[in-house]
Amino acid sequence: MENTLVRTDFKFPGQTNVYHGKVRDVYSIGTDLLVMIATDRISAFDVVLPRGIPYKGQTLNQIAAKFLDATADVVPNWKLATPDPMVTVGIRCETYKVEMVIRGYLTGSAWREYKAGARTLCGIPLPDGMKENQKFPTPVITPTTKADEGHDENISKEEIIKQGLISEEEYEQLEKYTYALFLRGTEIAAQKNLILVDTKYEFGKKDGKILLIDEIHTPDSSRYFHADTYRELFEKGEEQRQLSKEFVRRWLMENGFQGKDGQKVPEMTEEYCNSVSERYIELYEKISGEKFEKANAGDVAARIEKNINGYLKQRG
């Protein structure tokens, strides 16, 4: 546990800014470069939990890098290099203030809202009589505002355009990219006997060009079901076998925490944190189809700093 990376405070050559997100620390180098460090922090219900998860940052960074490469022909993206297992270096973009969430199935927060009586999702009408984990006839896009702190909020396409967050023309391009990425992710998942249930994408703009940014198709940003048992479990009304961060959310809910005022995060023992780490490694191996190789964890911060400085020096 002592080797988890939960905070960074680096000073790189040419550094102009640093942003500490919920789980990522992002360093701006000059005007055109971003260094994104996937820390071992973990968040749920938009709250950063008090303890880190060993190797979580490495699993997420490597999955995201793999899928950015696997979708580069579908949508251009920001990635330039991965100089460390927990680091991606890429093109600095002007970020759109909206996350494009796409859902193939009624589950998670959407199901919780539907169960409570909601019959629209971000302005999209839903029929009565749907069941948990039921497949939508076609995937639905349910955008959220991108909050620097606190909760992301659902928002409709109409409201995005009305508020001037994104122009109508650009939003329609983001929709096309989102559907295309989800289709590619679905095809890749099917090869691993998985179903890509829902996910989110973030986009930015550089020199008038839209780029896919941040992470994609990781268990933090996506939900997967096991394909071989989906139909049987759905027809029985039983819980799906899934690969996602939902198991952490469920543990929190079972212990009385949903990120609401006055609620306290349950104790995260070392045993619990290590069990979550094992789940992330399992997720990595299932989603990527590759054996996970643990990076040297002797002094994670020193290793990262050395590798980033080496890349920046080589880049000139």
Give the per-residue pLDDT at 151: 60
Give the per-residue pLDDT at 107: 94
- Are 300 and 207 found together in one domain? no
Give the per-residue pLDDT at 246: 82
pLDDT single digits (tens) 136-157: 999 999 999 976 555 678 899 9
Q: Which band of pLDDT confidence, cut at 50, 70 and 90, is reported for residue 1?
A: very low
Measured in degrees and rounded to the nearest 5, phi and psi for residue 19 equal -125, 125
- Are 181 and 297 found together in one domain? no
CATH code where residue 71 lies: 3.30.200.20
Question: Do the domain assignments include residue 105?
Answer: yes
For residue 247, pLDDT beyond 50 = yes
For residue 123, pLDDT beyond 90 = no
- Are 44 and 179 found together in one domain? no
Give pTM, 2 decimals. 0.90
CATH code where residue 150 lies: 3.30.470.20
Average pLDDT of every residue of the chain: 94
When pLDDT is averaged across residues 92-119 and rounded to a whole number, the result is 94
- Are 35 and 156 found together in one domain? no
Question: Do the domain assignments include residue 120?
Answer: yes
Distances (CA, A) of 91 to 138, 231, 312: 33, 42, 13
Question: Do the domain assignments include residue 262?
Answer: no
Domain residues for the domain of 99 are 95-243
pLDDT single digits (tens) 165-199: 999 999 999 999 999 999 999 999 999 999 999 99
- Are 106 and 232 found together in one domain? yes
- Are 148 and 233 found together in one domain? yes
Give the per-residue pLDDT at 244: 80
Domains in the chain: how many in total?
Answer: 2
Question: Do the domain assignments include residue 303?
Answer: yes
Question: Do the domain assignments include residue 206?
Answer: yes
Check: CB of residue 145 under 8 Å from CB of residue 97.
yes
Ordered DSSP codes for 294-314 = PPP-SSHHHHHHHHHHHHHHH
Question: Do the domain assignments include residue 5?
Answer: no
Strand partners, 98: 145
- Are 105 and 196 found together in one domain? yes
- Are 201 and 175 found together in one domain? yes
- Are 175 and 47 found together in one domain? no
For residue 242, pLDDT beyond 90 = no
- Are 120 and 144 found together in one domain? yes
Give the per-residue pLDDT at 150: 54
Say which amino acid occupies 129.
G
